[in-house]
A = this chain, B = another copy of it.
């Protein structure tokens, strides 16, 4: 079946920059393209937007189809509309970024090969995906400092040191331990658990979890998270 319009139309896609954290390095999930163009090159997961789904729905669907990821933190990033960004025809892409907790990616799926890369050591990317990724990284850095989204990259239970490592990896600079803990705890958004995290021949660390309910309450009162 064919669809005919009076004027030429751009194709519309979504692309997702999926961030993950392995405890030390910020990572991005890439897909090896099975088809032309840019066959066998690495690219962001993504695909065409269907005419009966919203952009958010399209991003979630593609993410699940290509990486198996579900129920992740997902937010629109920017829309890339360069005229020649796809060699085949005009394609406008609405880019999203996603934050996923460790150990959720099923590894390879269906046809596509999915793999994590450290943001500091990326392969050559298809299309203008390097631009998209750079934009996403910039956004993540900015956002991390004034919204409590870092928890989306950690397991549900985490230690303050893990959280600090994450901030250091994203921001690219070391942070003072005592000041970091003071600031994070001052927001009163972390709930200390009864459990400890044991991880080697040393004192075990207190585990915390993020309190999303309290955060929503505070947010409505015009509260500003900052770190």
What are 8 sample pairs from A and B whose C-beta atoms fall under 8 A apart? A3-B8, A5-B9, A52-B90, A53-B83, A54-B83, A55-B81, A55-B92, A92-B94
A76 to B78, CA, bound (A): 8
Q: Does residue A204 face the partner (Cβ distance < 8 Å to B)?
A: no
Neighbour of A79 across the interface among B5, B51, B53, B76, CB < 8 A? B76
A10 to B50, CA, bound (A): 8
Docked-complex contact A79 and B52, CB < 8 angstroms: no
Docked-complex contact A51 and B5, CB < 8 angstroms: no
Docked-complex contact B12 and A52, CB < 8 angstroms: no
Interface residues of A in 178-216 (CB under 8 A from B): none
A-side interface mostly: loop
Q: Does residue A106 face the partner (Cβ distance < 8 Å to B)?
A: no
Chain B residues near A7 (CB-CB < 8 A): 3, 48, 50-51
Q: Does residue A154 face the partner (Cβ distance < 8 Å to B)?
A: no
Docked-complex contact B4 and A81, CB < 8 angstroms: no
